[in-house]
Amino acid sequence: MYLVISEKPSVAQSIAKVLGAYKKEDGYLSGRDCIVSWCLGHLAEYAMPEAYDDKYQKWRFDDLPIIPETWKLEVARDKKKQFSVLKNLLTGKFFVPIDYVVNACDAGREGELIFKRVYDLSGSRLPVKRLWISSMEDDAIREGFANLKSGEEYKNLADASVCRAQADWLIGMNASRAYTKTYDYRLTVGRVQTPTLAMLVQRGEEINHFQKKQFFIAHVMKDGLDAVSEHLENRDAAEQIAAACNGKDAEVTDIKRETKSVAPPKLYDLTTLQREANRLFGYTAKQTLEYAQSLYEKKLLTYPRTDSQYLTDDMADTAKAMITMIEKLLPFVPEADCKTDVGRLLNSKKVSDHHAIIPTAEIAKLDEDSLSTAERNILYLAANRLLCAAAPKHRYIAVKAELNCSGYLFTASGRTVSEQGWKLYEGALKKYLRADDDKEEAEDAHTLPDLEKGQVIRRVGSKVTEHFTQPPKPYTEDSLLAAMERAGSSEMEEDVERKGLGTPATRASIIEKLIASKYAVRKKKQILATEAGSKMITLMPEYLKSVQMTADWENRLLAMERGQTTEEAFMADIYSLIERMLSDCRALPQDERQKFSGDKGNRGVGKCPVCGGPVYEGKSNFFCSNRECSFTLWKENRYLSSMKKTVDKKMASELLEKGRTHAKDFYSAKTGKNFEADLLLIVSDDGKTSFQMEFPNRLSGKKKE
């Protein structure tokens, strides 16, 4: 009897069906010779600092660095029942003895981490085998189980996943606390999040500081021809040229025709799929990943969390069969006599964990009504990209003409398509889906009239147009993903496809974290740094916001996966980085620490009386920044409402600093008049608040809530 553990219940059901495990139990499925169970995503996470020592409930710089000697894992409250099932299965506490366990979590670094945490936390000693597949099709599952590998073969990948997670925890916990306490300004620091934010901030500064320049262009026109002058800084000069040419003859002094081509695009990896879906449909990276994952679990799409745009060398027949199937089945495919070349899609050397995203043979059974509109769009994109990638080049003739009119030089450019090639499929899909592509063409696509050298064009018209230089465009999800992918490429090994900030599987969550932290905001398709995000980057040292550090870490993690470096060497560098950061914080002069002391909008109103963390103002309350702390001071509360009084920011600040505040406008329902008194704040150990009232000018004392 063997045990199979997948990442999600839906995946477990697909595997159980193939293995014949049909009997439903509480938290697992059982068959004649196997049991199939599941995690619920990340069942276990590294514990918060206070789980190691109660003193960490309060944020104090002197308690840093926080470096666990033995790492603790905690199971989320809503997942404890399923973990209990897995633990009992893994440790033989069920009546059926288990010979070995199959790690069937998603085949990648995160899947390895999810399984390892559950396995380690359970205390299991069962031998581990690894299922590594790129499709949830029945045949792929059968083949995968027929070729199970020893879990030891993936030890390096598991080590890299653990080091990545521990490094992120150490940087996040230590840096966030260190800089928050140093500046008395709430900050959330992340290994990948911070350099990504730095890119957003830099782009915003480039736009804000951009000085637009005006220029003018003179045109000569006749029968569809529009030739333009060079850019002119002076309107009068442009008007003079236009006046000199109006009604005059223009001669074609030179004409160049050049045959050009545009190579087909590569197949989708996750990042390019997310970029295209954002550009065409406005989907966020997170949404696209969710839709693609759903299609994978429905067996219609191969594994989406891939960083490769190629298929392996042995997949030529698969690609040919899939192209034929798509051409016959899917409604957007135009009739075309295009020769396909699947050879350009194959390159095993450029496939790391998984090959590129393509549809599976299950599309032969596709019921479109079972898909949401978004899922259909993503499936069609992947199918159409396979057609495009195997299709011929797009070919055209680029024409550039030079004209002389009244001694002034003008140029005109255009193109004539000679072979649509892969763009035939691209255009057909966009038309079918009615998708708006906001991608700008690099060259003008209009067609010029037939021109020959020496030709004279009689009595041309003229005009002047006004233009301005354009600032850089704000990042969209499309362009930000591209920038994250390219970032730090010069620091990466040449033969490594996984480059830049984060991985294809994590970039969506990084963007969402920036938005959740209010360091960035979505404005339609644009992603913009907020004021808080800009100030955050101003405070960070260069090495924490530099893409070079993240690129270097990714290189080291990849080296660890290959067995070229050790956990100890990697983590030693992380510890050194934390010490450098803390040392830099200690060395900051006092005036630098008070850099934002005048920023009342974003600074805390005081320190939490329970844990010592910063307290911030919300819409209806003042709350502790520490999510694990329950302290809240409500602006409107039952005690003060009878006195027609609410807690404002000044009162809250005094209550937190001194435990009391004085006011002259408390209302007495008994007398119908206002009175003055001191309001005292009482806070219990569990964060609950109450009030007392003290009358300094009276002999008798206090009114208690």
CATH of the domain at 285: 1.10.290.10
Pick from 644, 627, 683, 640: which is nearest to 172 by CA? 627
Q: Please indicate, yes or no, whether residues 385 and 437 belong to a single structural domain of this protein.
A: no
Shortest CA distance to 61 belongs to which of 178, 157, 194, 169?
178
Q: Which of 562, 593, 624 is at the close of a domain?
A: 593
Closest CA relative to residue 362, chosen from 371, 353, 350, 351: 371
Residue 487, pLDDT score:
78
Of 412, 438, 468, the last residue of a domain is: 468
Residue 541 DSSP SS3: coil
Q: Are 460 and 478 found together in one domain?
A: no
Backbone angles phi, psi at 475, to 5 degrees: -65, 140
Residue at 43 is within a domain: yes
- Give the pLDDT score at 627: 59
Same domain, 388 and 399: no
| CA–CA distance, 516 with 607 (Å, rounded to integer) | 23
What SS3 class is residue 624? Answer: strand
Do 483 and 567 reside in the same domain of the chain? yes
Residues 6 or more apart whose CB falls under 8 angstroms from that of 368 comprise 376
Positions of the chain with pLDDT under 50: 440-444, 491-498, 598, 600-602, 699-702, 704-705
7 with 143, same domain?
A: yes
What is residue 600's predicted lDDT score, i.e. its pLDDT? 42
C-alpha to C-alpha distance for 601 and 517, rounded to whole angstroms: 16
Other CB atoms closer than 10 Å to residue 635's CB: what's the count?
Answer: 17
* Residues 683-691: contacts with CB under 8 Å, at least 24 apart: 683/609, 683/610, 683/631, 685/610, 686/630, 687/610, 687/624, 687/629, 687/630, 687/631, 687/632, 688/630, 689/631, 689/632, 689/633, 689/634, 690/639, 691/637, 691/639, 691/640
Same domain? 480 vs 526: yes
**CATH number, domain with residue 7:** 3.40.50.140
Q: How many residues does the chain have?
A: 705
Which amino acid is present at 344?
A: R
Phi, psi (rounded to 5 degrees) for 461: -90, 175
CA distance 459 to 569: 77
CA–CA separation, 445 vs 439, rounded Å? 14
Number of independent structural domains in the chain: 5
In a domain, residue 599? The reply is no
Alpha-carbon distances, residue 568 vs 121, 556, 583 (angstroms): 22, 12, 22
Same domain as 545, residue 633: no
- The pLDDT of residue 602: 47
> Does residue 657 lie within any of the structural domains?
yes
Q: Are residues 168 and 103 in the same domain?
A: no
The b/e string for 197-234 (b: 16+ C-beta within 10 A; e otherwise) is bbbbbebbeeeeeeeeeebbbbbbbbeebbbbbeebee
Task: Determine the Cα–Cα distance for residues 550 and 487; give it in Å rounded to an integer.
Answer: 9
Amino acid at 604: G
Do 28 and 131 have their domain in common?
A: yes
In a domain, 430, yes or no: yes
pLDDT of residue 469: 94
463 assigned to some structural domain: yes
Assess contact for 297 and 14: CB atoms under 8 A: yes
Judgement on whether residues 84 and 121 belong to the same structural domain of the protein: yes
Residue 431, domain member (yes or no): yes
Q: Hey, which residues are catalytic here?
A: 303
Task: Give residue for tokens 């960083």.
Answer: 307
Measured between its terminal Cα atoms, the distance across the chain in Å is: 64
Q: Match 């408390």 to its residue by tokens.
A: 666
Residues 275 and 381 in one domain: yes
Nearest to 538 by CA among 555, 552, 519: 519
Residue finishing a domain among 468, 493, 509: 468
**Domain-embedded: residue 537:** yes
Residue 404, domain extent: 214-263+395-468
Query: Does any domain span residue 159?
Result: no
Confidence at residue 397, expressed as pLDDT on a 0 to 100 scale: 93
Same domain assignment for residues 614 and 509: no
Q: Chain centroid to CA 63: how far?
A: 32
